[in-house]
């Protein structure tokens, strides 16, 4: 009997993904509680032909340099791949795959949820009911603001942006977007040629672009100043797109009416001031966290891995 190839997986996967792996490979499963360093990642990957990771692992140039020579592919269970140094992987001849498409609807749902929760003060309201501080319905009690008739500005009209545009239009919003060039499928949203113009016309602004050196800190104080008074900010993409200081000051002053955030720079740590603000709705990076979507992501990550182990290109290669 031929020996099974070893594959190293940093985190637990949905059961059917783990079963698929176990049927064909010698699987080394990581522990969800571990914070990996370059050294512990390399130790985990010892003897493995493939390494399945998530955005919680930093595959820096140093971490990639430390990986054993057996590793042929880094397959990330995510669409985002900013945590993998692609140049370092290429330099070592290691392929990198990601999991686009399958998380589009789940993530757009969370963006809509954040938008509604932020504008309707859901977090504050829930806390009030739980604490017993609710004293009953009054005509002017606990008023939020309505999304119907408002303008949604989307930065980054990819698949998730388009899926959010559909949802927002169904809620009666007018949708504008800014990209480097008009998108092939903008789901009926209107292209705006400059970011300045988009900002000036966004009652709600939702971020859907990747985190790159160019987009890091994109939503800074100067850009927040360009938004209409009382605008709402939504982020399901990456925390590093926002300068936290600038957003927090704007939330405190009322320039920004509310924010809905699922992602944070340095997560799971986040700027402690967010937790003190009533007008922020905070979620723990769960954009794609449904059993259906995480299963599909796991399966796609395994497809990428398996392709490379079978000597062909991964279906979703980023390097």
Indicate which residues carry an active-site annotation. Answer: 238, 267, 285
Give the whole-angstrom CA distance, residue 98 versus residue 210. Answer: 13
Answer yes or no whether residue 79 interacts with ligand DGY by CB under 6 A.
yes
Q: Is 75 in the site for ligand DGY (CB under 6 A)?
A: no
Task: Work out whether 17 is an interface residue with ligand DGY (CB under 6 A).
Answer: no
**Only segment of 5-13, 37-45, 77-85, 150-158 that touches ligand DGY (CB under 6 A):** 77-85
Q: How far is the CB of 61 from ligand DGY (least distance, A)?
A: 20
Q: Which stretch binds ligand DGY (CB under 6 A): 75-83, 111-119, 143-151, 171-179?
A: 75-83
304 binds ligand DGY (CB under 6 A): no
**Binding map of ligand DGY across residues 128-157, x = CB under 6 A, - = no contact:** ------------------------------
Beta carbon of residue 6, minimum distance to ligand DGY (angstroms, whole number) = 25
Among 78, 104, 119, 235, binds ligand DGY (CB under 6 A): 78
Q: What is the DSSP string of the chain?
A: -PPPPEEEESS---HHHHHHHHHHSEEEE--TT----HHHHHHHTTT-SEEEE-TTS-B-HHHHHHS-TT--EEEESSS--TTB-HHHHHHTT-EEE---STTHHHHHHHHHHHHHHHHTTHHHHHHHHHHT------TTTT-----TTPEEEEE--SHHHHHHHHHHHHTT-EEEEE-SS--S--TTPEE-S-HHHHHHT-SEEEE-S---TTTTT-B-HHHHHHSPTTEEEEE-S-GGGB-HHHHHHHHHHTSEEEEEES--TTTT---HHHHH-TTEEE--S-TT-SHHHHHHHHHHHHHHHHHHHTTS--TTB--
201 vs 294 by CB, closer to ligand DGY: 294
Nearest distance from C-beta of residue 293 to ligand DGY, angstroms:
8
Stretch that binds ligand DGY, among 1-9, 26-34, 74-82, 120-128 (CB under 6 A): 74-82
Our CA angle for 292, 20, 70, nearest 5°, is 115
288 lines the binding site for ligand DGY (CB under 6 A): yes
- Of positions 228, 260, 287, 298, contacts ligand DGY by CB under 6 A: 287
4: number of Cβ within 10 Å: 12
Per CB under 6 A, the segment of 32-40, 44-52, 64-72, 76-84 that binds ligand DGY is 76-84
Rounded least distance, CB 131 to ligand DGY, Å: 32
For ligand DGY, the binding residue among 41, 94, 103, 301 (CB under 6 A) is 103
By the criterion CB under 6 A, which residues form the site for ligand DGY? 55, 78-80, 103, 287-288
């Amino acid at each position: 009997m031929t020996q099974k190839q070893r594959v190293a997986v940093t985190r637990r996967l949905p059961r059917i993904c783990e079963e698929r792996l176990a049927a064909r490979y010698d699987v080394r499963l990581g522990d969800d509680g571990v914070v990996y360093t370059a050294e512990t990642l390399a130790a985990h990957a010892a003897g493995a032909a493939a390494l399945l990771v998530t955005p919680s692992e930093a595959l820096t140039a140093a971490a990639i340099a430390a990986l054993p020579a057996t590793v042929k592919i880094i397959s990330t269970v995510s669409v985002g791949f900013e945590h993998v140094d692609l140049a370092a992987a290429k330099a070592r001849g290691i392929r990198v795959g990601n999991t686009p498409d399958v998380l589009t609807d789940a993530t757009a749902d969370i963006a809509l949820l954040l938008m509604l929760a932020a504008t309707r003060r859901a977090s504050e309201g829930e806390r009030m009911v739980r604490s017993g501080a609710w004293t009953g319905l009054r005509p002017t009690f606990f008023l939020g603001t309505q999304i119907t008739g408002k303008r949604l500005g989307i930065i980054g009209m990819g698949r998730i942006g388009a899926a959010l545009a559909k949802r927002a239009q169904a809620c009666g919003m007018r949708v504008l977007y800014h990209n480097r060039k008009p998108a092939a499928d903008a789901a009926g949203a209107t292209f705006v040629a400059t970011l300045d113009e988009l900002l000036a016309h966004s009652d709600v602004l939702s971020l859907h672009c990747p985190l790159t050196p160019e987009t890091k800190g994109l939503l800074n104080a100067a850009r927040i100043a360009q938004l209409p008074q009382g605008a709402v900010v939504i982020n399901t993409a990456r925390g590093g797109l926002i300068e936290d200081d600038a957003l927090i000051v704007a939330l405190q002053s009322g320039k920004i009416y509310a924010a809905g955030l699922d992602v944070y720079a340095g997560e799971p740590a986040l700027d402690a001031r967010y937790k003190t603000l009533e007008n922020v709705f905070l979620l723990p990076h769960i954009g794609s966290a449904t059993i259906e979507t995480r299963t599909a992501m796991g399966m796609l990550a395994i497809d990428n891995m398996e392709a490379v182990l079978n000597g062909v290109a991964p279906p979703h290669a980023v390097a």
